[in-house]
């Protein structure tokens, strides 16, 4: 793949950009401290803004790496405050694969925002980075996450039983993927 790092992406309603340390308060209040948002994720709700700052410091220091991809999701109408994040949580250069993970503040659920962000990021990985396969997974108890994947054209590949762990403990994992040739 031709790694080029986290570059700004714009869609009709969204700006996807790098995080800044000043985003800590928005991150904390808009999604990272909400137990419902992180219910099926692999990291716990942030207990304070200091946790959000520490996470952002780590992410920001990683932006210098060309194979690091972590975007803040910002609504154009809201200005600069992030409402969620979307990232490449793992990469496999041997098969040109990108695994995408995402989360969004509860206030913005069911508005098509995550699907819009996911489509833009998938286009970026296919067209700019040169990915051949983009995949994602979700806990079957979180079907709305799977709906995002389906809406973005990903194909269901199967459910692996007791193959993952999230804040609910050991769980099944529903896998979806899209190949460049299937676009």
Instruction: Give the phi and the psi of residue 88 in degrees, each rounded to 5.
Output: -85, 110
Burial of 104 (0-12, 13-18, 19+ CB in 10 A): buried
Tell me the pLDDT of the chain averaged across its residues: 97
| Separation between Cα atoms, residue 60 and residue 21, nearest integer Å | 8
Residue 78 pLDDT grade (very low, low, confident, very high; cuts 50, 70, 90): confident
Q: What is the pLDDT of residues 92-149, one digit of tens each?
A: 999 999 999 999 999 999 999 999 999 999 999 999 999 999 999 999 999 999 999 9
For 33-59, what is the mean pLDDT? 97
Taking alpha carbons only, the member of 95, 179, 103, 183 closest to residue 135 is 179
| pLDDT value of residue 149 | 98
Assess whether pLDDT exceeds 90 at residue 79: no
The rounded distance, in Å, linking the Cα atoms of 84 and 104 is 4
Domains in the chain (CATH in brackets) are 9-133 (3.40.630.30)
In tens, the pLDDT along 145-155 reads: 999 999 999 99
Compute the chain's Rg from CA coordinates: 16
- Cα dihedral 149, 154, 157, 162, rounded to 10, equals -20
**Rounded percentage of the chain residues whose pLDDT exceeds 70:** 100
**Closest C-alpha among 140, 175, 138, 141 to residue 156:** 175
């Amino acid at each position: 793949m031709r790694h080029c790092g986290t570059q700004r992406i714009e869609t009709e309603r969204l700006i996807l950009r790098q995080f800044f340390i000043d985003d800590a308060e928005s991150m904390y209040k808009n999604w990272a401290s909400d137990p419902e948002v992180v219910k099926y994720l692999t990291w716990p709700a942030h207990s304070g803004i200091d946790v959000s700052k520490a996470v952002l410091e780590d992410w920001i220091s990683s932006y210098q790496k060309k194979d690091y991809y972590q975007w803040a999701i910002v609504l154009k109408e809201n200005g600069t405050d992030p409402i969620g994040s979307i990232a490449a949580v793992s990469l496999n250069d041997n098969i040109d694969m990108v695994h995408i993970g995402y989360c969004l503040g509860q206030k913005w659920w069911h508005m098509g925002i995550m699907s819009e962000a996911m489509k833009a990021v998938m286009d970026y990985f296919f067209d700019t980075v040169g990915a051949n396969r983009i995949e994602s997974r979700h806990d079957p108890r979180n079907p709305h996450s799977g709906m995002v994947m389906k809406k973005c054209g990903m194909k269901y590949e199967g459910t692996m039983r007791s193959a993952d762990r999230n804040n609910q403990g050991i769980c099944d994992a529903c896998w979806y993927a899209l190949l460049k040739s299937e676009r």
